[in-house]
């Protein structure tokens, strides 16, 4: 199969995998055998393409849901406030509102924590680069003493062995 033919096959199979509930149904829709679909799915290049397509689909779906979030919140508010609504409907609206609020808070908190960890990693990386530079500069001196953020110190002696 030519590279172009393989690429078209991958595109058809990826579209089918995103739309169908099983690999065999996707293979049938793409016009290939289940075995071929499974073999392609084990290929690292195909897996990367499939993952990228799936992320794109999820982002598109999330964007659509986000656009409708304020309308959905308004529906929950109306049901919650409607004295004529059944008690079950009002409880369901209240429960969903609380659940969604907590989930939103959890996501914001996770985002903040990830950001903090990334910033901490960048600071450590910068500190490590600085230490490596100190060591490289000290090679000519034969020794270096490093002071770490916790106040501890470590000395290193360098000797050159010519072979």
**Tens of pLDDT, residues 55-71:** 999 989 888 888 888 88
* Mean pLDDT of the 134-144 span: 64
How sure is the predictor about 157, in pLDDT bands with cuts at 50, 70 and 90?
low
Q: Which residue has the higher pLDDT, 126 or 101?
A: 101
| Residues constituting the chain | 163
* Mean pLDDT of the 134-138 span: 67
Question: Which of 50-59, 112-121, 143-152 shows the highest mean pLDDT?
Answer: 50-59
Torsion of CA 43, 49, 54, 55, to 10 degrees: 120
């Amino acid at each position: 199969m030519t590279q172009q033919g393989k690429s078209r096959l991958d595109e058809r199979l990826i579209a089918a995998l995103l739309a169908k509930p099983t690999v065999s149904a996707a293979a049938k829709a793409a016009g290939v055998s289940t075995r071929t679909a499974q073999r392609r799915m084990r290929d690292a290049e195909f897996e990367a393409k499939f993952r990228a397509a799936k992320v794109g689909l999820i982002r598109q779906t999330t964007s659509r849901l986000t656009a409708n979030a304020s309308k959905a919140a308004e529906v929950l508010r109306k049901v919650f406030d409607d004295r004529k609504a059944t008690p079950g409907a009002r409880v369901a609206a209240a429960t969903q509102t609380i659940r969604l609020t907590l989930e939103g808070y959890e996501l914001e908190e996770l985002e903040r924590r990830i950001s903090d960890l990334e910033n901490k990693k960048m600071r450590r990386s910068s500190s490590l680069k600085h230490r490596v530079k100190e060591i490289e500069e000290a090679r000519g001196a034969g020794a270096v003493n490093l002071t770490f953020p916790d106040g501890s110190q470590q000395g290193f002696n360098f000797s050159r062995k010519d072979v």
